[in-house]
Amino acid sequence: MSLTQSPYSAHLDTFTRENLPPRSTWPEFLFTGPELQYPAAINCATELLDRHVLAGAGSRRCLVTDTETWTYADLLTRSNEVAHVLTEEAGLVPGNRVLLRGPNNPWLVASWFGVLKAGGVAVTTMPLLRAGELHTMAEIAETTIAICDNRFIEDIERAAIPRLTTLQYGGSGPDDLTTLAGSKSTDLENVATAADDVCMLAFTSGTTGKPKATMHFHRDVLAIADTFSRHVLRPTPNDLFTASPPLAFTFGLGQSVVFPLRVGAATFLIEQPSPTRMLEAVERHGITVLATAPTAYRAMVPDLKGARVSSLRACVSAGETLPKATWDAVHDACGIRIIDGIGSTEMLHIFISAADDEIRPDSTGRAVPGYVAEVQDPDGRPVPDGELGRLAVKGPTGCRYLRGDRQTTYVQDGWNITGDVYVRDSDGYFHYQARADDMIISAGYNIAGPEVEEALLRHDAVAEAAVVGVPDENRGMIVKAVVVLRPGAELGPDPAKTLQDFVKSEIAPYKYPRAIEFAEALPRTATGKLQRFRLRERS
């Protein structure tokens, strides 16, 4: 079954509905299970939060930090108060966009819910963004209100966003959001939004660095919990989640808020989630579901053997490809079988994955129930199993860029074209090869950059590696590797040749990096995703 856009909307500010891309350019949406049949009017905040309190579970723990614990009733009270502040003090009307800025902490979560309860559209931003980036995003989204942790206010002020009303939290003054909230009613009737009213704008820079806003409905937020979380993570109310990505990263929003709250579980919020800090949280608080990037898992490996991680029942990796070398190293160290997954900001969360005994370490997994996926040729025809092609996906979520920016690049013939090159095997497992723009054609050979990276990572001296193609007069392109070595690593008098010879011994020799640059660090986004386009620019 697929749905068309509802004629009803609760938004008085019609900006998002007016700036949806043309309906003919949307992907085909699939709602194939009973859990994905949503009513025409639904507010996802009601389903994620209010529902539990109304069912008598208000005393259950919900948000946990090192210093405090909020129950479901606490979060409901404060979210309702925030919604009142937004409407009564900041003048929010349904459909207004609200910029949120802060690290992962309870008041950021309460603010996110407050925006949705009031019928607003949440525009959560990375806390590391600077004034110019914030100005650009606010300009694109036409935000009129901001809620900001008072420790991160400087860049909001420097951004000089026109006609912006800013509410700060974390202080003690009379105008602080926490003070204002305490004076408001704790009762609230959530705005009866349509299931296909936009509730959040999530920004993605793609591979170019130019931000694009992806538009997501109330039903989309629930759908990611009712697909990947329901069928792969299978959480229970007794779980305690934690995740490293900020809530502005849709991977982090799902893992830290949507998935635990959908089932009445709890989440442990970490403002500065280093690998060491996350391991400490697992040991001290008994984390059961952990989510972070492959780089962080690799950094944990030296400490995993001695760590008390028996509480962990699920570890999720996403954001970039999970090298088999990293999967093996974690499994060898402590027995944990990492759940790999591929998702995108455009699709909101993970759509291919596998868990438990269905995991194959050299594969991303199979299409998550609720989604269908295939490998296609450039003309949109499915290719035989075992052949390279572009990944195409359909499901209950899909790409809608604000104002249709590059919509027809991502959506073609009803499919979401993710920009990834994959191979599917005869068992329906999808094997990642590279981003489409990371396939390197050198002297007629097709070389997948991530395969070379994985070979490099198997060397004990290598902490991180990134591979790109760079122009070459004789071969068209050559493989170049940028390598970060482990502290104290010794590779002899010619470190580059040592690594080149090692790669030749691991994979076909023609794939070896003909150029190697050693660096102190790799360029990454605020969420830890590798920025290969910066390496290409540098070359």
pLDDT under 50: residue ranges of the chain? 1-2, 206-208
Tens of pLDDT along 237-252?
999 999 999 999 999 9
**Residue 208 pLDDT:** 44
Q: Provide the pLDDT for residue 185.
A: 97
Query: Is residue 509 included in any domain, yes or no?
Result: yes
Structure tokens, 120: 């607003």
Is residue 272 a part of any domain in this protein?
no
Q: Report helix, strand or coil for 393.
A: strand
* 508: CATH: 3.30.300.30
424 residue type, one letter:
R
- CA–CA separation, 21 vs 518, rounded Å? 44
Residues present in the chain in total: 539
Q: Has residue 476 been placed in a domain?
A: yes
Instruction: Give per-residue pLDDT as tens, 459-493.
Output: 999 999 999 988 887 777 899 999 999 999 999 99
Is position 53 within any domain? Answer: no
Q: Flag whether 368 is in a domain.
A: no
The DSSP bridge partners found for residue 165 are: 145
The structural domain count of the chain equals 1
Residue 456 in any domain: the answer is yes
Q: What is the DSSP letter of 216?
A: E
Largest CA-CA distance found in the chain, in angstroms, rounded: 72
| Mean pLDDT score across all residues of the chain | 93
Token pair in block for residue 424: 């599917």
Enclosing H/E stretch for 308? none
For 454, the domain range is 443-538
Give the integer Cα–Cα distance in Å for 505 and 395. Answer: 41
Q: Is residue 194 part of a domain?
A: no
Provide the whole-model pTM: 0.86
Give a yes or no: residue 326 inside a domain. no
Instruction: State in Å, rounded, how far the first CA of the chain is from the last one.
Output: 48
Give per-residue pLDDT as tens, 279-338.
Answer: 999 999 999 999 998 888 988 999 998 899 999 999 999 877 788 889 999 999 999 999
> What Å distances lie between residue 93 and 10, 82, 115, 186, 196, CA to CA?
10, 14, 10, 19, 17
pLDDT of residue 442: 81
